[in-house]
Amino acid sequence: MTPVDRHCRRWTGVAASALGLLVVAAPSGAQAPGTGTLRIESVPSGANVELIGGPAGVTPLTVTERDIYPNTYAEGRADMYGMVWVRHPGCEPLRHRVTADDIKQGLRLNLDCGVASAALETPPALAATPAAIPAATPTSGAAMLPERRLRQLQVLQELLDENLISPAEELRIRRRILQLKPPGG
Amino acid sequence: MMQGTGSVMLSRLARAAALVAIGMALWMLSMRGASAMPEFARRYNLSCAACHSAFPRLNQFGEHFAKNNMRLPNWMETSKQLGDERLALPDHVPLAVRAQAYVQARQGKTIDPLTGASNYAATDFQAPYLVKVLSSAPLSKNITYYFYAIFAEKGGNGEVVVEDAWFSYADLFGSGVDMLLGQFQLSDSMFPREVRLPFQDYMVYRMAGITYDRGVVFSRDVGPLAIQLGFTNGNGINANSGINSPGFGRPDRMFDNNSSKTVFTHLGADVGPVALGVFAAAGKQRSATGPAGTATGLRDTDKRIVGLDASGQLGGTMNWYVQYLWNAWDGFLDADPSRNYRWQGGFAGVDWIPNDRWAFSVLYNYDRAGDLAHTGTIYEGLAMNSLSLTSSYYFMRNVKGIIEVNFDFLNKTTQTAPYFTGHLSKENYILFGFDTAF
């Protein structure tokens, strides 16, 4: 073996060791410190939370970003990508698209328990359009400003124009948007 | 003697690198992160995690987003509200930046194929490796644009190179066909190089000449089959010449260098848990001439490529991919225009993303020069046999540090032809650096 070969072997060994060091240093836990989590609260509390992966627990609870945005999912669940469904007996089910602001500030959802309305089913036509529109009532942020409501209505109209939702679904969602109460109201 | 000195330097550097790695590991473990906001994340107020399993690799939703004309259904919400329904200006200038910086220790040399004069740098500060400005936005119900420009790529200070730059039109005339017009990579129909995790490239794409070109691609899903059909100039993205025959000072310029076009297609389908694809391309390329084939000839020669690709997942955290390409370069060398040259190659890799902090990649490149071996030309250098191991640590969703080691298994060759061609130096390397997008 020539000196050059020895040097190369030594170089290769040290390089592999350096790489191995970083591998060994890798945290074994699924949730590393500092990565995104989402705190979900509801009024009333004790609501069942469902994410794209299925039931996630009861409010208040904390989930990870990967629970909301899994790297893979069944195509049949595509409409749930990035969404939070909250259900509580006697309240209208609530569907919310998670934003970066939510992850930063946490999510506090007011459930409409005034009317024992029939459960709002998932609009089937939205299944092909993940995270189509936010149709929830978060109390955080500026999500309930009139301008945002106007934008929601515009998006809704576009979905209708593109035949992604039926007129009946459009009417039902439009009513929900227009019935939203302002923050604190 | 010089080689021995170089190896000693490499050895010393590697020891230092190990110490740096220890420091990096300790520092990384003490880091605390926060959310990141590159352009699409800014536009839709989403976490980077929505589209990336580990930046820049796309997850399932990210691929859906890219395929869906790079937009979400609520894209109009992100436009400036000007009261004109026929105007959808982005509400901010849609820019993003990607920057990379590396330190590398390597064995590869610069060798002049004609004289044998060589240059060698055992260690190399490749910082900045590139600074890239990207922009994309939906412009109408059907049209989206995307482009990026690279400043000083790989040390080319004073250069600005525009690579991907295109308009896409979804659902052309209500046909369900999507069209993309501009500059793009033919290889994007298989495994997009820009979203790979390793620093090491998908080498067979580069060597087969199916990276950047100017043209048009039509895409459509037919049942379970994803079909792409494209046409390109076939001469890359740098050439252009003035058109002076109509007269003096005419403004038009010619981007192509001949009338023929490269035609390519890719058919993809999921077969159980495996995504399979078949690629084919046919076109012309200029012959190679001069000493060691270093010059571009005047003849247009036939070029054909057939490829097979497959990819899939292992568990929820591991992705694998395999690519094979067969190449036919007919009459390519002016030294023997009657001879047809065949060569083949490919790569295989695995990305393992165990959590949001770490990603590990293995990439194996294997190419054989085939009929171009022993031709005394630089195309002997098509041969390659290397394994790259990459470890990426994410300080933030959009900021990562990487360490990569490349093992070269190809035996070094000695000069046999009149020129200095072939695998004259090994290409082992170790690389540290940063890669970020914001």
pLDDT for B324: 98
Whether residue B67 is predicted with pLDDT greater than 80 in this model: the reply is yes
What does the pLDDT read at residue B287?
Answer: 97
CB contact under 8 A, B53 and A71: yes
Question: B-chain residues within 8 Å CB-CB of A21?
Answer: 18, 21-22, 25
pLDDT for the residue numbered B227: 98
Interface test with A, best of B5, B61, B390 (most A CBs within 10 A): B61
Asked if A81's CB is within 8 angstroms of B61's CB, the reply is: yes
pLDDT above 60 for B313: yes
> What radius of gyration, in Å, describes the C-alpha atoms of chain B?
23
Q: How close is the nearest chain B Cα to the Cα of A89, in Å?
A: 30
User: What rounded mean pLDDT belongs to chain B?
Assistant: 90
Which residues in chain B touch residue A101, judged by CB atoms under 8 angstroms apart? 45
Band of pLDDT at residue B371, cut at 50, 70 and 90 = very high
pLDDT of residue B90: 85
B73 vs A103: CB contact, 8 Å cut-off?
no
B253 near A CB under 8 A: no
With an 8 Å Cβ cutoff, is B438 touching chain A? Answer: no
All residues of chain A having their beta carbon less than 8 Å from the beta carbon of residue B84 are none
Cβ contact (<8 Å) for A71 and B28?
no
Portion of chain B with pLDDT greater than 90, in percent: 78
CA dihedral over B288, B291, B292, B294, signed as positive or negative: negative
How close, in Å, is residue B203 to chain A by CA atoms? Answer: 22
pLDDT of residue A33: 40
Q: Classify the complex by whether its ipTM is higher than 0.90, answering yes or no.
A: no
CB contacts < 8 Å between A and B, how many?
172
pLDDT value for B286:
95
Which of B10, B49, B59 lies closest to A72 in CB terms? B59
pLDDT at position B30: 36
Residue A151 has pLDDT above 80, yes or no: no
Which candidate in B27, B356, B397, B431 is best for mutational testing of the A interface (most A CBs within 10 A)?
A: B356
* Chain B (348-377) residues lying within 8 Å, Cβ to Cβ, of chain A: 353-358, 360
Look at residue A117 in the predicted model and tell me its pLDDT.
Answer: 44
Of B28 and B163, the structure prediction assigns the larger pLDDT to B163
Do the Cβ atoms of A18 and B405 come within 8 Å?
A: yes
Chain B residues lying within 8 Å of A15, measured CB to CB: 14, 17, 405, 428, 430
**Across B47-67, average pLDDT:** 92
Report yes or no: B430 at the A interface, CB cutoff 8 Å: yes
B 141-160: CB under 8 A from A:
141
Confidence (pLDDT) at A179: 67
Taking the CA of residue A86 and the nearest CA in chain B, the distance in Å comes to 20
pLDDT for position A145: 52
- Which chain B residues are within 8 Å of A104, Cβ to Cβ? 35
Give pLDDT tens digits for A67-92.
999 998 988 889 899 999 999 999 99
Q: For residue A6, what pLDDT band results from cuts at 50, 70 and 90? A: low
Say which residue, B365 or B15, is predicted with more confidence: B365
Closest CB to B47: pick one of A72, A100, A129. Answer: A100
Looking at the complex, report in whole angstroms how far the Cα of residue B213 sits from the nearest Cα belonging to chain A. 31
Residue A144 has pLDDT above 50, yes or no: no
Instruction: Enumerate the residues of chain B whose CB falls inside 8 A of the CB of residue A27.
Output: 29, 355, 357-358
Query: B50 CB near a chain A CB, below 8 Å?
Result: yes
Question: Are the beta carbons of B73 and A7 separated by less than 8 Å?
Answer: no
Can you give chain B as a three-state secondary structure string?
Answer: CHHHHHHHHHHHHHHHHHHHHHHHHHHHHHCCCCCCCCHHHHHHCCCHHHCEEECCEECHHHHHHHHCCCCCCCHHHHECCCCCCCCCCECCCCEEEEEEEEEEEECCCEECCCCCCEECCCEEEEEEEEEEEEEEEECCCCEEEEEEEEECHHHCCCCEEEEEEEEEECCHHHCCCEEEEEEEEHHHHCCCHHHCCCCCCCHHHHHHCCCEEEEEEEEEEECCEEEEEEEECCCCCCCCEECCCCCCCCCCEECCCCCCCEEEEEEEEEECCEEEEEEEEEEEEEEEECHHHCEEEEEEEEEEEEEEEEEEEECCCEEEEEEEEEEEEECCECCCCCCEEEEEEEEEEEEECCCCCEEEEEEEEEEECHHHCCCCCHHHHHCEEEEEEEEEEEEECCEEEEEEEEEECCCCCCCCCCCCCCCCCCCCEEEEEEEEEC
